[in-house]
């Protein structure tokens, strides 16, 4: 049995050396010092051993038990220390500055739309929105452009593949925000003061100055005695708030079937002050919107009596404003999702 004890001692020490976790150490304790371990069995059965052997065996077994117990406690302390160090090393220091995460920002178009609408809201206009998928009726017919009207050619139209029972294809992607005019007029009665921002679509090849989708802001006011002077005053004020107090405005005749008279409004170039430069293409003027007095036929078609009421309307391209302001040389940058561009604004 003495021999057995010696082998046990050697095996226990060798195994202990390899142990690297507290769980394994507990396993080791159970197998060498546990109640069912060989050593404890030997100690418990000492009474049955012949007297001559008992003393030597007993002292050796007790010695081994003490030795294993002290090896166990030393190992345990080491493992606990190592664990503590590991935790100490890996702990999170909450006083360190956090990783900043990128806050998003509004899209340049959205910002510009807000800026435009805010100006009109402060003048008493209300913001409404219309659908981007539109009926031909609102986009053209009610705006004084019946089927076959040559002005339709000016709006390269994306037609929606939808056919009625009679074979007509009356659905399209709106080519401008002007269909919000008949939509609002049909449902409400004057006085009306509305701005309607939104996306519009044109069936066009894209290049640096053309996109098949862009944004417009429509505006119109209908009341008794609205005249061209109201149009002029409102848009002049708008241009000065957006482009600076000393801006000059130029009104020139233009044609849109849904206004009469129609005009195009330009501001003096804010880059060269009107002397002529690259931005204004040497003309000194920058066109910013189309406008006019709402055509009596359009009013009548929406149930508003043109003998009693009159109104003005205007429509402007949104992207054009930051393009001019920041010298952006390609309109395609707006919708190509390049964050290096979008984050700048
Ligand atoms: N809808 C016109 C366009 O897209 C602009 C416009 C709006 C002109 C309102 C006059 C009045 O070109």
Is the pTM for the entire model greater than 0.85?
Answer: no
Provide the 8-state DSSP code for 99. P
Question: What's the chain's average pLDDT?
Answer: 93
Helix (H, G, I), strand (E, B) or coil at 301: helix
pLDDT at 46: 85
Are 303 and 239 in the same domain?
A: yes
256: Cβ below 6 Å to ligand 1? yes
Q: Say how many C-beta atoms besides its own lie within 10 A of residue 49's C-beta.
A: 15
Are 114 and 179 in the same domain?
A: yes
pLDDT at 270: 83
Q: Which domain holds residue 169?
A: 108-342
Are 199 and 265 in the same domain?
A: yes
Q: Using one digit for the tens of pLDDT, what is the confidence trace for 125-180?
A: 999 999 999 999 999 999 999 999 999 999 999 999 999 999 999 999 999 999 99
For a ligand 1 pocket test, name from 178, 254, 262, 266 the mutation site with the most ligand atoms within 8 angstroms of its C-beta.
178
292: Cβ below 6 Å to ligand 1? yes
User: Looking at the predicted structure, is the pLDDT value of residue 87 above 90?
Assistant: no
Query: Over the range 74-87, which residues count as b (16 or more CB within 10 Å of their CB) and which as e?
Result: ebeeebeeeeeeee
- Measured N-to-C along each axis, helices 22-33 and 2-18 cross at an angle, to the nearest 10 degrees, of 180
User: Looking at the predicted structure, is the pLDDT value of residue 58 above 90?
Assistant: no
Q: Based on the structure, what is the number of domains in the chain?
A: 2
* Over residues 213-242, mean pLDDT: 96
265 Cβ contact list (under 8 Å, min separation 6):
235, 239, 249, 250, 251, 252, 287, 288, 289, 290, 291, 314
* Over residues 321-335, mean pLDDT: 91
Are 232 and 284 in the same domain?
A: yes
Whether omega before 225 lies within 30 degrees of 0, making that bond cis, reads: no
In ligand 1, the atom with minimum distance to the C-alpha of 262 is 10
Q: Using one digit for the tens of pLDDT, what is the confidence trace for 242-283?
A: 988 888 889 999 999 999 999 999 988 888 888 988 888 899
Q: What whole-number distance in Å separates Cα of residue 321 and Cα of residue 328?
A: 10
Q: What whole-number distance in Å separates Cα of residue 247 and Cα of residue 243?
A: 7
Are 125 and 207 in the same domain?
A: yes
In ligand 1, the atom with minimum distance to the C-alpha of 317 is 4
Final residue of a structural domain among 24, 56, 89:
89
């Amino acid at each position: 049995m003495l021999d057995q004890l010696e082998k046990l001692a050697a095996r226990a020490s060798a195994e202990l050396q390899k142990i690297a976790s507290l769980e394994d150490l507990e396993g080791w304790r159970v197998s060498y010092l546990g109640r069912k371990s060989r050593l404890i069995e030997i100690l418990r059965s000492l009474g049955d051993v012949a007297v001559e052997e008992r003393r030597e065996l007993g002292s050796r077994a007790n010695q081994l038990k003490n030795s294993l117990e002290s090896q166990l406690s030393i190992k345990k302390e080491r493992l606990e220390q190592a664990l503590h160090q590991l935790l100490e090393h890996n702990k999170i220091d909450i006083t360190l500055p956090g990783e900043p995460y990128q806050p998003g920002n509004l899209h340049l178009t959205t910002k510009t739309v807000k800026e435009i609408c805010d100006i009109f809201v402060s003048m008493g206009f209300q913001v409404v929105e219309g659908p981007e998928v539109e009926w031909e009726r609102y986009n053209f017919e009610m705006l004084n452009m019946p089927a076959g009207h040559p002005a339709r050619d000016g709006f390269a139209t994306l037609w929606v593949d939808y056919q009625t029972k009679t074979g007509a294809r009356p659905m399209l992607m709106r080519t401008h925000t002007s269909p919000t005019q008949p939509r609002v007029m049909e449902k409400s009665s004057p006085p009306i003061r509305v701005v309607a921002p939104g996306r519009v679509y044109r069936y066009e090849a894209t290049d640096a100055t053309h996109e098949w989708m862009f944004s417009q802001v429509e505006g119109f006011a209908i009341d008794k005695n609205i005249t061209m002077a109201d149009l002029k005053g409102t848009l002049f004020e708008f241009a000065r708030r957006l482009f600076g107090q000393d801006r000059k405005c130029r009104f020139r005749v233009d044609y849109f079937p849904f206004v009469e008279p129609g005009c195009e409004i330009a501001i003096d170039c804010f880059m060269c002050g009107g002397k002529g430069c690259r931005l204004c293409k040497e003309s000194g003027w920058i066109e910013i919107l189309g406008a006019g007095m709402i055509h009596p036929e359009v009013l009548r078609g929406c149930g508003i009596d043109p003998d009693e009421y009159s109104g003005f309307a205007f429509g402007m391209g949104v992207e054009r404003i930051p393009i001019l302001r920041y010298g952006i040389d390609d309109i395609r940058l707006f919708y190509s999702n390049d964050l290096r561009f979008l984050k700048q604004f």
